[in-house]
Amino acid sequence: MNVPVRAPLDGVSVAPATLGGIVGEWLESPGRPPKASLLYLHGGGYIACSPRTHRAVTTAFAHAGYGTFAPDYRLAPEHPFPAALEDALAAYRALLDRTRPRPLFVAGDSAGGGLSLALLLAARERGWPLPTAVALFSPLTDLVVTGDSIRQNAARCAMFVPQVLERVAQLYLGRRDPYDPLASPLYGDLRGLPPLLIHVGRDETLLDDSVRLAQRVRAAAGTVELEIWPAVPHAWQLFHPWIPEGRRSLAAAATFFDTYLHGS
């Protein structure tokens, strides 16, 4: 991994890095070795954003002691499904090889949350070791766009209305099947996944993407913690410098990871 030295950002060093041929950012807290590594997959509907737009989240994990790699994965419509997943897999495999046998964690928000879950299914298909635990913030898990909350919360959600979600799915998928579990992991085989933490807002159109995911993981005898937060916007963790709910959510995710650091 190529990590040139850069000046700290809010007490965290941020450097360009390349893992598995995928460029991105490596963040860690200077002066102390990371207690574990984290792969963070940013949101943006598979069509927007980058590691830079999500530094508020990745710096928080670095402050918590997690060396964090945020890949700049390819975006649709120029690079439709499965390009983002291929890039996430390449970064994950390289980070896995670099960190074993130490714990490795995965987290993501919105589309990055759905991509994190798809990564688990694809890694399992390949026979790769799965991460120690995973945190998902308002994950987009159903590109068929069938959740009841998509319409029930359309007037309350500050981010998405049904037409936007349908357009995002169209741009990402092209002519691919929206029921493909690697695009819509809600429809995948959810057995044998690592422990999941899911945070979602009560008023989000994507609420049911999280609720149904938790139900199906539990039905598959998996371990999942679902927390539904009142009065927060979509992916509110991005706004933690300004809202306490964002700070509490990120602190809870770091504590969740800490629980599994030593094989608990």
Asked if 18 contacts 1 with a C-beta cutoff of 8 angstroms, the reply is: yes
Report the candidate in 140, 173, 185, 182 with the shortest Cα–Cα distance to residue 159.
Answer: 140
Cα-atom radius of gyration of the chain, to the nearest Å? 17
Beta bridge partners, 9, equal: 12
Would you please indicate which residues are annotated as catalytic (active-site) residues? 110, 204, 234
H-helix segments, the chain? 55-63, 83-99, 111-125, 149-152, 162-173, 207-219, 244-259
Q: Which residues 6+ apart lie within 8 Å of 167 measured at CB?
A: none
